[in-house]
Amino acid sequence: MSTIFTKIIQGDIPCEKIFETDAEIAILDIMPCNAGHTLVIPKLEVARLEDLPETQAISLMRTLQQVAKAVSTAFDGIDYNIILNNGANAGQEVEHVHFHVIPRTEGSHKPFGNHIRYSEGEMQEVGARIRNCLR
């Protein structure tokens, strides 16, 4: 089943297109956190970042960098967040990988409000667990 992003890419649903390549599209979010909130989406419909073939992930990062710079420049060098919600527990609502470029003004909401503390030795255990998955 096609996601809403695939339908936008195919031209079935209108959007405010910011940028497009053969492999990606950047559009304004219809429910923005701030003016200029832009989504950068690969045209290949995959749910998670790790599902993208490496060459397409590299291309997506190039486009993301270019669009993020344009968003910042358009708002006089404004700061911004780049956010990927990768999976439902991370807040992903559309199962089609996409990055949010969200301009941030002074006093605007900031992510990472909740922090945890590792217990003694826990950081080393978590680090080893992740490293073991890189092999």
CATH class of 4-109: alpha beta
pTM strictly above 0.85: yes
pLDDT in tens, 14-69: 999 999 999 999 999 999 989 999 999 999 999 999 999 999 999 999 999 999 99
Q: What angle do CA 30, 36, 40 make, to 5 degrees?
A: 70
Q: Which residues are known to be catalytic?
A: 98
Quick count: other Cβ atoms within 10 Å of Cβ 123? 11
CA dist list (Å): 1 to 5, 24, 42, 88: 11, 19, 16, 18
pLDDT at site 114: 67
pLDDT tens-digit series, residues 106-122: 888 777 666 778 899 98
CA distance 119 to 68: 37
